[in-house]
Structure 1
């Protein structure tokens, strides 16, 4: 059974949210509620902790064990009590009372967004001086904080968990498909009630269509945005020394919070490596959100990444939208094809990396985010920096922990291991021995071919051969046309070779970050270059002041830039 803990600043709010969640998944979960003021409780043993506000999160750190997944929930007005406000004459001054001034102001925004904007709201919390005289107080279930001299109290009920929070909870346990219909029904019931009220109070501008559209949109869209990483290091197939070296570094980098930059050719498995790093990190239970800049229109990049507020641009959704950085909060965001980012957006990404804050398009309030960034590219970013097409400061912010996946052509017999794996995925009846026999007539050509499209091209080739030959062992004549052309054998890599000096810098940087000692001989082995060339490049780099050579076990160290 799943254990879910709900933590709030007030016990009443925590209990109410627990009861709300119980209506949806109560039979499948053990639900507990806690108040941050109850210091008798120690760390909570739960599979997921739900904080009902940012304030509850800030005050509830004592409850949170290390590495326990949590969400900071959005909350919504209790629709069942809205009728009480609709009966109040327009233009009436009311005191909006809550336990904290921030949550009081948040309730005002929620009411006005719904269209309950015919009243003049003034926020109030305990300990604050009253700045407006009125005899009416409105409170979301916190009547005990209303000043004693107030004669009329309108209790609109404790705010409930918003549908976005409920979707996050269900998705965390991979249960959205199971409970999605029940969740929709739960909210449609409230919408029907609001619809009846809108006929009764025709002069009140409750924007039901927008609210219903928001609820339906959340159910439809959220699963794709709060993605989970499917792959682990154990899923990476291959024994090539260069690959194993990269994986060993990546395992060490997983424990860090620093930004990772993966520079490799297309089709080498950059996202698979990024997902593996995420799943081996302390953020493994958080979201893994991937964005491919090559697939996003430049005009939409800002709103996709950072979200937008209502009215930010023509066609903007009524309530605005959350961006991918916010969806990745407490997890990892994978920025693929980072070399395609326009210069204007590069400046904003640099600010996000430096300040750990984003601003929605059209908004002015900075939003703090807790996100680990992994970026990837098939371009030579150092060359783009020299050409003025990529910001130097952003490049160094991204490449704190650089990684490189070797192209398939440099991985030797890994080609056959991968080919057999792909074939067995296509035909589960084949074992490893049978798959090896199946490739026996063409294995030499597979090993000789340059694979400019890397693993993606190999997968296409195996699928082609399986479709053509079935269980018959394919011959050379069965190969797809690109593999039959002799000119393709030992073809050059589609990317120009990077200067040796830059590759040496990357290897030293990786070794330093991993705490490994690196010297002239190990560089020569890793880069398949003569020691004489390595020695000459090292002397040049030392003269530039880029590196320092230390005696004994110190090895080579990069100097701060």
Structure 2
């Protein structure tokens, strides 16, 4: 196992923090050893693979204790994004005292802050021998105990985190190419502001490209392997390992080191072009190619296929050529709900499915209109016939008429030889689903009306009538009745398609489905905190099921354990939650009074003093805020109800919750 040595001046909270910080990226994949300068002996050399020190003069100092000075890395440190935003809320030109454990670290902190773009403040070095009581605000990276008592406001940024550029240096020196480590660093880059954003962004970009390429390679059913001109295996996909019945991880190995003699023989073939080889109880088709880069041979690529897989592809191709129609994959069992309103909608849709009349499905975007249309088709007598789905909004106007109704050869420039069947003809005896019908051009609406009335189509450039038997299901998220009044949609067509109307309720109208559906979309079982449940249930979900699925995928990506907290939610959900609360309390009491009360509670909490109602009233009088005790009582009750504060009887009084702190940060206090 690779080792990392951390050399500090002594055992401190910082040393513990650095250990935890390194574990965030490397987990248990490296061993960490801690050393203190005061305990080092010159005859005992540090032989770890990488040696980390905090500041430049310690780099010089540690050299006499290491076996190889090229292993030394000076740690660059930065600040988390959520902590740095506190400084941007301060007014421009304000004097801010910077406090740390010594002058070197104070200067380093100031340099880091300027480097991160905090250049609107006048940072002042703390000197305990000078009276600096004229300064009201101090900033410190985790050393708030050193801040003098006369400072009114302390912004504690917490210990500065190791910059991502340092982690890239460590990974390079240790030659670590681990998927989990890379994933951890990408996530880390989004939370900690990098001092070297160009390096950071380039690393993320290259890593994402590499991941995408690996994903594409592993999607292939063909066995793929790339061998360098040094006879080392650089790429090997999962299909190749399955075809050759290999369990071991062979990337990085030399071909000569492979234990399996039969496998080794395949990679030692001098030439192979559609070479058929018997391997165990199966036959393989092998192709070998030389890889050239800038005119130089850089390696060899093998593409290996199992003959049985090739035959299966041929069978599937023949089947598709025989049957070129589309199918409906979903049925009513796929519609999950605990909502009475949607259950009644499903019951209605099942009755409608047995009919053969035209259906109009309405509902907001993302509610599952196509899912409902496919379910109706699969419940109908046409279930074994084609289901053709057409998105009227996505299809170019110039192509819509020819795609829907077909055309004859030579009817326009670019027409296919022999002409083409339209989608209505392809859907014969089955169902055609016209999604987003409200976006259909008026001239196409006219022709569609005739098709519905007569159950006949005429191809472009033809005089022949073609009889069809097609059921039409239309869908839209627009108000067609309003469009009819505005003469944007034909009234006669509207009444032709609105024979059997179904409205799918929006997610905001069936709140009982939100948490159930979210859990069903997350591959791994997760436990939601009460605060998360509250935010999800309060949100209006304008994107409906589609948006809920996206949030589920986001949560599954962000959560490292089974507990889902508000930090694992997309930022816009948190902002929505706070915006709604701000609206509610502003309507009741006025925003200024509310903020004054929350501000005072925050100040009391920071001072570790009781935030009782009488103490709050006294502080409001000092600030000359005109407010009655009854108003304060009602404000505190509302804040507690909204989970912005927690209140306890006795000395402790009111205390800001995490949500309350988020609210203050949002309004810039």
TM-score using structure 2 length: 0.39
Kindly name which structure, 1 or 2, has the bigger radius of gyration based on alpha carbons. 2
